[in-house]
Chains A and B, each alone.
Chain A
Amino acid sequence: MPYSRTRVVDVLFKPLTTAPYEILRKTIQREKKDVINELVDSGLRGRGGAGFPTGMKWKFAAQQKSDVKYVICNADEGEPGTFKDKKLLCEVPRKVISGMAICAWATNATKGYIYLRREYRYLVAQLEEELRIYHEKAKEMGLNFPIEIFLGAGAYVCGEETALIESMEGKRGEPRNKPPYPIQNGFLGKPTIVNNVETFASSAMICRIGAEEYKKMGTADQRGSKLFSISGDSPKEGVHELELGMTLEAFANEFGDGDTKAVQVGGVAGFCIPRKQFKTQIIGEGNTTGGSTMIFNSTRSMYNVLHNYLDFYAEESCGQCTPCRIGTQQLLKGIEAVKSGLKPPSYLDQLIKLSETMRITSKCGLGQSVTNSFSSIVQNFREEMIF
Chain B
Amino acid sequence: MANNINLTIDGIHVSVEEGQSILDAAKKIDIKIPTLCYHVDLCVAGNCRVCVVESVGRNNLIPSCATPAEEGMEIKTSSPKVRRARKDLMALLVSEHNTQCTTCYRSINCELQQLAAEYNVDNDIYLSVLKPTAKVDKSSWSIEKDDSKCIRCQRCVRTCAEIQHVNALAVTERGRDMKISTFMHLPMNEIVCTNCGQCITHCPTAALTERRYYDEIWEAIDDPDKYVIINTAPSVRVAIGETLGYNVGERVTGKMVTALKKMGFNSVLDTDFTADLTIIEEANELLVRLKKALVLKEKVALPMITSCSPGWVKFIEHMYPEHLDHLSTCKSPQQMFGALAKTYYAEKIGIDPSKIVSVAGMPCAAKKFEANRPEMWDSGFQDVDAGLTTRELGHMIKQSGLDFFELGESEFDSYMGESTGAAVIFGATGGVMEAALRTAYVVITGRPVPFENLNIIPVRGLEGIKEATVKFENCVPEYKFLEGVEAKFAIAHGLINARQIMDQIVKGESPYLFVEVMACPGGCIGGGGQPIPTNDEIRKKRMEAIYAEDMDKPLRMSHENPEVTQIYKEFLVKPLGEKSHHLLHTKYRKRNRY
Contacts and interface: CB of A to CB of B under 8 A. Distances in A.
Contacts of A354: 88, 92, 126
Contacts of B52: 360-361
Contact of B67 (A177, A316, A317, A353): A177
B127 interface: yes
Q: Is the interface of A mostly helix, strand, loop or mixed?
A: helix
A238 B512 CA distance: 71
Interface stretch (B171-179, B211-219, B426-434, B570-578): B171-179
A132 interface: no
Contact of A360 (B44, B59, B127, B171): B59
Interface stretch (A5-13, A201-209, A273-281, A324-332): A324-332
B49 A319 contact: no
B67 A320 contact: no
A172 interface: yes
Interface residues on B, range: 35 or more
B113 interface: no
A155 interface: yes
Contacts of A360: 52, 59-61, 81, 85
B47 A322 contact: yes
Nearest to B86: A361
B170 to A, nearest CB: 8
B93 A326 contact: yes
B50 interface: yes
A337 B85 CA distance: 23
A323 B176 CA distance: 12
A362 interface: yes
A334 interface: yes
B155 to A, nearest CB: 13
A330 B125 CA distance: 10
Interface in B37-73: 44-50, 52, 59-61, 63, 66-68
Given A326-B92, A326-B95, A330-B92, A319 B125 contact: no
B175 A330 contact: no
A362 B49 contact: yes
B173 A322 contact: no
A178 B147 CA distance: 29
B129 interface: yes
Contacts of A174: 171
Contacts of A316: 174-175
A159 to B, nearest CB: 14
A333 B96 CA distance: 13
B174 A361 contact: no
B175 A334 contact: no
A170 interface: no
Contact of B85 (A155, A157, A343, A361): A361
A149 interface: no
Contacts of B44: 177
Contacts of B151: 322
Interface string B84-123: 1100110011011000000000000000000000000000
B93 A333 contact: no
A173 to B, nearest CB: 9
B60 A319 contact: no
Given A330-B92, A353-B88, A360-B61, A320 B81 contact: no
